Amino acid sequence: MTMPFSQRHLDVLTETVNIGVGRAASILNDMVGSHVSLHVPQLTVHDAAGLRAYLARYSSARLASVQMPFTAPFAGVAALVFPPESASQLVYILAGEEYDPAEMDAIRKETLNEVGNIVLNGVMGSVGNMLDTRIDYAVPRYAESDLNGLIAATGAPVAAYIMAEATFEIQDHKIEGDVLLLFEVDSFDTLLKALDSLVS
């Protein structure tokens, strides 16, 4: 499906998302105690079928995600998605070695939810600032599922998914992994009109 998105639309959104994740990285720096680099080289726009094809490399894996529903002026869900290996390494770095293995599931959920909360709030706050509008969003929630479950969890059929494939690096710990920021945009025309006012 061809989306009515120009390269200029994507450039503006990419810059905006990078501002948001940059702010989030600054907060994560303090949490980790090492330099955190979090940046988005590109955005892509997909329908549901295109999204499945794009993320096919994760289709058999159980993904850890933090999902944050949002409303006004457009509705949808922002999700921060971790491939399994990246999730485990990130929890190890943030939680340290001093934890009870019996409590690992709870620690994993709490740690990833905290990271997701920081990143998603940074990104959505940046988008709201760009559009000069208030975006209302709910408290992020942690979930684990395969790719089909993740897409189903975002809710009703939508016009498009905007995905930012980010790079997450933690200096001194040699941690590199893909973090997927997945936006479900229910009122896609509203977003396009808002962007048109910025790129015209």
Give the span between the Cα atoms of 190 and 43, in whole angstroms.
18
pTM above 0.95, yes or no: no
Query: HEC profile for the chain?
Result: CCCCCCHHHHHHHHHHHHHHHHHHHHHHHHHHCCCEEEECCCEEEECHHHHHHHCHHHCCCCEEEEEEEEECCCCEEEEEEECHHHHHHHHHHHHCCCCCHHHHHHHHHHHHHHHHHHHHHHHHHHHHHHHCCCCEECCCEEEEECHHHHHHHCCCCCCEEEEEEEEEEECCCCEEEEEEEEEEECCHHHHHHHHHHHHC
What pLDDT is stored for residue 98 in this prediction?
A: 61
Structure tokens at 29: 């720096």
Question: What is the maximal distance between C-alpha atoms in the chain?
Answer: 56
- How does pLDDT run along the chain (200 residues), one tens digit per residue? 445 778 888 888 899 999 999 999 999 988 888 888 888 888 888 887 888 887 777 766 778 888 888 887 878 888 888 877 788 888 888 876 666 666 778 888 898 999 999 999 999 999 999 888 888 888 888 888 877 777 776 665 677 888 888 888 887 777 777 777 777 777 777 888 888 888 76
Contact 121, 67 (CB under 8 A): no
pLDDT of 56 reads 78
Contact 195, 13 (CB under 8 A): yes
Domains of the chain: residue spans and CATH:
7-191 (3.40.1550.10)
User: Around Cβ 143, how many Cβ atoms within 10 Å?
Assistant: 16
Which phi and psi (to 5°) does residue 112 adopt? -65, -35
**pLDDT for the residue numbered 2:** 44
pLDDT score of 65: 87
Closest of 70, 73, 46, 74 to residue 151, by C-alpha: 46
> Please, what is the end-to-end C-alpha distance for the chain in angstroms?
24
pLDDT at 19: 93
- The one-letter amino acid code at 122 reads G
